[in-house]
Structure 1
Amino acid sequence: MDLSPLGRAALAVREGCRLRAYRDGTGVWTIGYGHTSAAGPPAVTEGLTLTQAEAGALFAADLGPYVASVRAALARPVPQPFFDACCSLCFNIGQANFAHASVVRLAKAGELDRAVEAVLLWDRPAAILTRRQGERDQAALAAYGAVYARRGDRDPVRVPAGPTLITPPRPDPLASMTGRAAVPAESWWPRLREAIRRNMQKGA
């Protein structure tokens, strides 16, 4: 399984995005969509700033290990909203905490109803409660087209309907900080060509 576009959008709303480094509720220097030095480069220090493009690229890079951890911990198919909510929880509490959480133990035992409620056990600090309630409500869904990032939000998070377009990636905006090379054109062109072929077949 993988994090869905809607799950990613809901997580982005929960995290929020700040383009200048700040100390989170526990005093850890943070930037972008919840990025800290513990997640890898760039190291977050006072005065660090990002562009919106850099923040988005950093969020995408940070997500991978957390999604992989959730996939490995659950080790069985679950409803997509439950998986997405677990990714959101894991991103917030950390991979080690998630791996040993009651949510995982109950889900692996097939007790999804109890696993959904176990999301609420991670209720500290108090300011996290509406996020946790939103994750719990998300996890309880069998399927979805929209989700509330936090319980009590006025508007749900939605992902535009229709096919996902494959576009050539721009040069990695984090390359100057991470040393990662931009993705070569050869790696995306076959996917783009195949998407065009499928769309033409659908229209025939």
Structure 2
Amino acid sequence: MQRTNRQGLDLILVSEELRLEAYRCPAGVWTIGWGHTGPDVYPGMVITEALAILFKQADLERFESAVEDALEVPVTGNQFSALVSFAFNVGDEAFRGSTLLNKLNTGDINGAAAEFKRWVHSKGRLQPGLVTRRAAERELFLTPGDGDPA
């Protein structure tokens, strides 16, 4: 299985920011740790950094698997890592249904790269943090090579 490289992991960690108390993200979803969501996150929840690390690792493996399963074309390590960061943020269902993935799977690298900038809204509102994240994901996606091992 392909793994997220150091550049992709750094992008996720900087974008998600460690939070040890549950909070609602701009989309209204209960979130904790480094962007961990799901039925196990609830209002008032508090975790340790050690548990946040376990959540992050499980989430990373989940999204690496989701990206790998959805790809129909070979990608570089940097492309894979940018896609994992994107899927980590938007969710595997949204990733699988995205025009970004569809364009990539038809070999349209530049078209896929252009799609990152379309994913900058939450509940219809422009989110500056998503603008920054998508620009970083696009830049990593377009950077040739495999990057550094995480």
TM-score by length of 2: 0.87
**Aligned residues, how many?**
144
Displacement over 3 Å in runs of 4+: none
| 1:180 equivalent in structure 2 | none
Q: Name which of 135, 138, 160 aligns with 2:137.
A: 135
Q: 2:116 aligns with which of 99, 105, 119?
A: 119
Please state how far the C-alpha of 1:17 moved relative to its aligned partner. 0.7
Aligned 8 A contact 2:11 2:136 in 1 = no
Partner of 1:201: none
**Whole-Å separation in 2 of the counterparts to 1:70 and 1:37:** 19
RMSD between aligned alpha carbons? Answer: 1.9
After superposition, the C-alpha distances for 1:46-84 in whole angstroms (9 at most, x for unaligned) are 221111111111100112121111111112211211111
Runs of 5+ in structure 2 lacking a partner? none
Report the equivalent of 1:98: 95
- Partners of 1:139 and 1:25 in 2: how far apart? 25
Higher Rg? 1
1:46-125 alignment runs, 5 A limit: 46-125=43-122
Give the percent of matched residue pairs that are identical in Structure 1 and Structure 2: 32
Q: Which amino acid aligns with 2:131?
A: L
Q: C-alpha offsets along residues 66-103 of structure 1, whole Å, 9 cap, x if unaligned?
A: 11111111122112111111111111111111111111
* TM-score relative to the length of structure 1: 0.65
Cα offset, 1:6, TM superposition: 2.8
3-state SS, counterpart of residue 130 of structure 1: helix
Alignment of 1:1-204 (within 5 A): 1-38=2-39, 43-125=40-122, 126-127=126-127, 128-143=130-145
CA distance in 2, matches of 1:77, 1:144: 12
Q: Which runs of 5+ in 1 are unaligned?
A: 146-158, 165-204
User: Aligned partners of 1:26, 1:11: CA distance in 2, in Å?
Assistant: 18
Residue 144 of structure 1 deviates from its aligned partner by 6.5
Structure with bigger RCO (C-alpha 8 Å, 6+ apart): 2
Q: Note the alpha carbon deviations across 1:138-157, whole angstroms, 9 max, x for none.
A: 11110375xxxxxxxxxxxx
